[in-house]
């Protein structure tokens, strides 16, 4: 798809500058907001969770969506912060569920304090997210609440699914809830709060969902290609099944499937032995063409994301959205992981 709006100096460089400037403003506003909560007993935990290093993609997407339909960043900023707080709540809870001891280069909140503190902090962040969203009206408030429910549903599917029972259809349903729901809601609510029409808000919603799915797929692949060319055993240990493994299993012979199943048992029962077998499974994933299959799916979702923007007026901000989708591969490595 051709980008019709011309940005002097190139869209990629302009997008990088936009992200840096907007992220800086978001972090300043987050700091002020967290300071206003100093009376809360959970203030130290909330501050620790929220003000840790992150790329702030979801609030940036809300702001960018609002600007793409003529809105201003100052008007949408509290709503943008709501999406960052909701996202942070999921990370705090996920660390407890997965027993991950580190988050963004620091001790996970539950390791620094306790599991109880972590659960309560996550709950508090969800409540604060809803509170920040409430002045924007019933539609936005309901969308934020629904996205929180979809996150829970997606997380539950992630935890309770098995490789043999996880088809691609099930996998995409899961990541639409767990990974794409906040992107969809941030883009949609940004469009509404920015004064966009119902059609424009829907277009942005579709962009957010398709981009969110593509980004999760990209993250699935990066788990293999950026971690020393080995399987992400922590994801496997936590029962998280990603598309490369799903596709590999679905296209394997009965004997190959048994070997994969034995490997997954080893991940939990004998991690050291599992590491010895990991390369065998990784080679099988490559042989089956799973990475190429993922790339095809990424391209499909990015194409859908781009197509969803055709009804928006050509502006600088629409150009940034287009550039995000066009350069997801380099964008993912430049701006960090999904957190």
Interhelix angle 316-326/57-68, rounded to 10 degrees, is 140
User: DSSP class of residue 237?
Assistant: H
List CB contacts of 59: < 8 A, sequence separation 6 or more: 26, 80, 81, 83, 84, 186
Burial class from Cβ neighbours inside 10 Å (0-12, 13-18, 19+) for residue 300 reads: middle
For a pLDDT cut of 70, what percent of the chain falls above it? Answer: 90
> For 289-297, which contacts have Cβ atoms below 8 Å and span 24 or more sequence positions?
289/247, 289/251, 290/243, 290/244, 290/245, 290/247, 290/248, 290/251, 291/221, 291/224, 291/244, 293/243, 293/244, 293/247, 294/217, 294/220, 294/221, 294/243, 294/244, 294/247, 295/221, 297/214, 297/217, 297/243
List CB contacts of 269: < 8 A, sequence separation 6 or more: none
State the pLDDT at residue 331. 58
Distance of CA 198 to the CA centre of its chain: 25
Cα(246)–Cα(111) distance, integer angstroms? 32
Q: Is the pLDDT of residue 226 over 70?
A: no
State the pLDDT at residue 97. 92
* Segments making up each domain of the chain, as ranges: 11-335
Q: Is the pLDDT of residue 5 over 60?
A: no
> Does the reported pTM lie above 0.95?
no
Q: According to DSSP H, which parts of the chain are helical?
A: 11-35, 43-50, 57-68, 73-98, 109-112, 115-133, 138-160, 168-178, 181-193, 198-225, 233-237, 243-250, 254-269, 271-287, 290-307, 316-326, 328-335
| Main-chain dihedrals φ then ψ at residue 311, nearest 5 degrees | -80, -10
State the pLDDT at residue 111. 96
User: DSSP class of residue 10?
Assistant: -
Range with the lowest mean pLDDT among 26-40, 108-122, 159-173, 185-199? 159-173
**Is residue 11 a contact partner of residue 319, using CB atoms and an 8 Å limit?**
yes
Chain mean pLDDT for the chain: 89
pLDDT (tens digit per residue) in 50-89: 998 888 999 999 999 999 999 999 999 999 999 999 999 9
Cα(302)–Cα(312) distance, integer angstroms? 17
Structure tokens at 45: 């935990």
Structure tokens at 266: 């080893």
Q: What length is written for the chain?
A: 339
**Is residue 305 a contact partner of residue 205, using CB atoms and an 8 Å limit?**
no
* Superfamily per CATH, domain 11-335: Farnesyl Diphosphate Synthase (1.10.600.10)
Q: Is the pLDDT of residue 196 over 50?
A: yes
Cα(95)–Cα(49) distance, integer angstroms? 12
**Is residue 208 a contact partner of residue 200, using CB atoms and an 8 Å limit?**
no
Structure tokens at 123: 């709950």
């Amino acid at each position: 798809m051709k980008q019709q709006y011309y940005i002097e100096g190139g869209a990629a460089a302009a997008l990088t500058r936009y992200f840096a400037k907007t992220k800086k403003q978001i972090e300043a506003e987050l700091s002020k907001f967290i300071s206003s909560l100093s009376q809360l007993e959970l203030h130290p935990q909330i501050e620790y969770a929220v003000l840790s290093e992150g790329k702030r993609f979801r609030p940036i997407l809300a702001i960018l969506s609002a600007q793409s339909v003529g809105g201003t960043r100052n008007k949408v900023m509290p709503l943008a912060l709501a999406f960052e707080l909701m996202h942070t709540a999921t990370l705090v809870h996920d660390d407890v569920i997965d027993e991950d001891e580190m988050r963004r280069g620091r001790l996970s909140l539950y390791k620094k304090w306790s599991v109880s503190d972590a659960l309560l902090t996550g709950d508090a962040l969800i409540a604060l997210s809803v509170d920040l969203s409430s002045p924007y009206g019933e539609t936005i408030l309901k969308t934020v609440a629904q996205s929180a429910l979809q996150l829970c549903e997606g997380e539950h599917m992630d935890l309770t699914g098995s490789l043999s029972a996880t088809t691609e259809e099930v996998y995409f349903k899961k990541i639409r809830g767990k990974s794409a729901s906040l992107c969809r809601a941030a883009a949609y609510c940004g469009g509404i709060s920015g004064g966009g029409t119902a059609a424009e808000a829907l277009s942005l919603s579709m962009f957010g969902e398709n981009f969110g799915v593509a980004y999760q797929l990209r993250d699935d692949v990066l788990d293999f290609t950026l971690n020393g060319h080995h399987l992400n055993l922590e994801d496997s240990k936590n029962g998280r099944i990603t598309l490369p493994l799903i596709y590999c299993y679905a296209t394997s012979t009965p004997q190959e499937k048994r070997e994969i199943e034995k490997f997954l048992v080893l991940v939990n029962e004998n991690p050291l032995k599992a590491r010895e077998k990991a390369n065998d499974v990784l080679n099988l994933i490559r042989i089956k063409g799973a990475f190429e299959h993922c790339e095809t799916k990424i391209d499909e979702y990015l194409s859908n994301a781009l197509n969803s923007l055709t009804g928006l007026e050509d502006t600088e901000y629409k150009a940034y959205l287009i550039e995000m989708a066009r350069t997801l591969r380099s964008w993912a490595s430049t701006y960090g992981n999904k957190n």
